[in-house]
Structures are given as C-alpha cells and as structure tokens.
Amino acid sequence: MEYILEPWPWYVSGPLIAIVMFLLLYFGRTFGMSSNLRTLCAIGGAGKKVEFFKFDWKAQRWNLVVVLGAIVGGFIAHFYLSNPIDIDLSENTISDLNNLGFTNAGDSLLPPELFSWENVFTLKGLSILIIGGLLVGFGTRYAGGCTSGHAITGLSSLQLPSLIAVIGFFLGGLLMIHLIYPILF
C-alpha cells in the first residue's frame, strides 16, 4: 500500500498509460481525449451552424464515459491514494519559478497563483486561463489530436503526422515557457 500512496515513478506510469491506450484499442475504440471537445460542441448544437460538428456524436458517448471515469479517478487518486507530500521538482525549477513569482512550487498539483479563486478573478488570471484553454481547444483540433492521440497513440503506431504534431507541441511549449513567460510573469 505504501508504494501506491507514494508518487509513482516514471517507469511505472509510462507503461500504465500505454495499457490505457491498448485497452481502448482492444475495446475497438481509440485513445484520444481532445475529440471529446468536438463531441461537446456537437451536443451543444454546433452542428446546426457548422458542418464540422455535424456528425453522430452519440457514437462518441463511450469517450465521454472515459472522461467521467477520469474525473472520478482523479478524485480517488488525490483524496484516497496520495500521501500529502510535495512534488519532487528539481532545484532549478523551484528557483526559476520563484524568480517568476511562483512561491512554494510543488506544494500542490497546481500553482495557486493561477488557479486559486482570488487570482482567477483578476483580469490577468482569467485571461490566462481563457487564452490557454482557447489555444488548447483550437490547436488540438487543428492538429487532429493531443498528447493522447498523437504523442502516445500516434507515436506508438509510428505515424509521421504524429511525430510532426509532437514537434509542434514542443515548439509551442518552448516558445511559451522561454519567451512568453518572462513577459507575462
């Protein structure tokens, strides 16, 4: 039990994620989380106005059930399967974050500087979450997948488009952290 309550090492976590992918393929489906955003648009009636959302979203309900499970899984893992210990970040990361104004890095899963209510309801805080979400939603659909569909499933099946997409993911991430963060924070 102690091993479960401790954070899981990368060499355990990675193969377990591959098992998630494999199970979904075994069930005749596929591992792709961002597709749910399109399904949610369709459920909201977007298909009446935009061709891209005119599809049989009911055939995608299984994936929304995966999402529902993931939320429950997050709850179980966080509240019942975790010792309250800090994330073991590298010293450099902690000091870099400190310089950007993020204190107590690793105390929690997410920085309160971005996700606590008092910061969410500032113009800057709200803008960051909304712009971040917009970019994720727009970018994943444009690229036809996210970390699960391209980085895990696409690379596992040795698909060149997924490799290109993953290079894009890193290009964007590096731009944000190295060039835009110093301006934002």
Name residues contacting other proteins, limited to 102-161 (CB under 8 A). 105-106, 109-111, 114-117, 120, 126, 128-148, 150-159, 161
Residue with tokens 């910061």: 119
Give the burial class of 94: count Cβ atoms within 10 A of its Cβ; 0-12 exposed, 13-18 middle, 19 or more buried.
middle
Q: How far is the CB of 2 from other proteins (least distance, A)?
A: 13
Q: Which is nearer to other proteins, 56 or 117 (CB)?
A: 117
Residue 166 near other proteins by CB under 8 A:
yes
Q: Which residues in the 31-50 window bind other proteins by CB under 8 A?
A: 33-34, 36-38, 40-41, 44, 46, 50
Report if residue 57 touches other proteins, rule: CB under 8 A.
no
Give dist(CA 26, CA 69) in Å, integer: 18
Sign of CA dihedral 40, 42, 44, 49: positive
Residue 85 interacts with other proteins (CB under 8 A): yes or no: no
Min separation Cβ 112 and other proteins, Å: 10
1, 2, 48, 52: residue in contact with other proteins (rule CB under 8 A): 52
What is the spatial distance between Cα 91 and Cα 171, in angstroms, rounded to a whole number? 24
Tell me which of 73, 98, 101, 124 binds other proteins, using CB under 8 A.
Answer: 73
Q: Which is nearer to other proteins, 2 or 148 (CB)?
A: 148
Nearest distance from C-beta of residue 84 to other proteins, angstroms:
13
Q: What is the SS3 string spanning 53-120?
A: HCCCHHHHHHHHHHHHHHHHHHHHHHHHCCCCCCCCCCHHHHHHHHHHCCCCCCCCCCCHHHHCHHHH
